[in-house]
Amino acid sequence: MTIKIAITDDHPIVANGLKKILDDFANIDVVAVYTTGNDMLKEVGASLPDVMLLDMNLPDLEGPDLARQLLKKFPSIKIIVLTSSDVTVQVKKMLQIGCQGYLLKDSDDKTIVQAIETVYGGGQFLSPVIQQQLVNDMFRTKNQKQNTLLTRREKEVLQLITQEYTNQEIADKLFISLHTVDNHRSSLLQKLDAKNTAGLVKKAIENGLVE
C-alpha cells in the first residue's frame, strides 16, 4: 500500500526537490505539486492525497487560513507543516487548527519520511527542536499564560506600525480611536516582550508578520 502525498510550496527548488527525494521511496507516491495556496485548494480534490506537505509562508494565502480551509474541505487529509521558522506561536496555532506534523526545512530525508509514515498511521510528528521548544515554552507560559498569541486587530496594528504609520494614522485607517490604537500597542509590547517600537518591528519581522 502506498501513501499518497501532495506538496504545496512556492519555491520550485523545495517542491521539486522534495518530490525527487520522495520518489525514491516505494511506499510513497507524490500525486501532486502545487506552488500556490489557491491552486492547491482548487485542485486538491482531483489528487486526494493522504498527506499534504504544506509550506507555511505562501505568498497568496496565510498558512493558518490555508490549513483551515483545506481541513474544512477534506477533513481526512493529514497536514504536515513545512517551514523554516521555529517560532512557537506559529507552531501552536497550526497544531490547534489540526495539523498533524511540523517539520523544519533543515530536516533530512529520513526524518521527512518518518514524519509522513507516522502521520499517515494516525500519529503526530514534530521536529525534535520544536518539540523541545514547546516543552520549554510550557514552563514559561505557566505564569504568563496566553500572552504570545496576537489577536486579529493586534496583528493589523503591528503591520501598520512596521509600515511607518503613526498611531493617529493607524486610528484613521482603521476607523478607531487613537486611544484604542494605543491600547493595542501596549498589548503588543507586552505580548512580544518588546521595549519600544524598534522591538515591535524586529519581532514582527522575526515572526513573519511583515510582507
Q: Which is nearer to a copy of itself, 44 or 200 (CB)?
A: 200
Alpha-carbon 65 to chain mean position: 9
Contact 35, 15 (CB under 8 A): yes
Q: Which is nearer to a copy of itself, 100 or 167 (CB)?
A: 167
Q: Which is nearer to a copy of itself, 75 or 211 (CB)?
A: 211
Q: Which is nearer to a copy of itself, 14 or 75 (CB)?
A: 14
Residue 18 interaction partner, one of DNA, a copy of itself, none, beta carbon < 5-8 Å per kind: a copy of itself
Q: Which is nearer to a copy of itself, 71 or 182 (CB)?
A: 182
Residue 187's Cβ-count burial label (10 Å; 0-12, 13-18, 19+) is middle
The residue within the footprint of DNA, chosen from 129, 163, 168, 206 (CB under 7 A), is 168
- Termini Cα distance of the chain: 42
Per CB under 8 A, 164 contacts a copy of itself:
yes
Among the listed ranges 26-34, 44-52, 53-61, 181-189, the one in contact with DNA (CB under 7 A) is: 181-189
DSSP secondary structure code for residue 61 in this structure? S
Residue 95 interaction partner, one of DNA, a copy of itself, none, beta carbon < 5-8 Å per kind: none
Could you tell me where the DSSP H helices lie in the chain? 12-23, 37-47, 63-73, 88-97, 109-120, 128-144, 152-162, 167-174, 178-191, 197-206
The C-alpha atoms of residue 88 and residue 86 are separated, in whole angstroms, by 6
Which cell numbers in the block locate residue 66? 490555508
Q: Which residues bind a copy of itself (CB under 8 A)?
A: 10-14, 16-18, 20-21, 23, 82, 84, 105-109, 112, 161-164, 166, 194-202, 205, 210
Q: Which residues bind DNA (CB under 7 A)?
A: 146, 149, 151-154, 165-168, 171, 174, 176-180, 182-186, 189, 195-198, 200
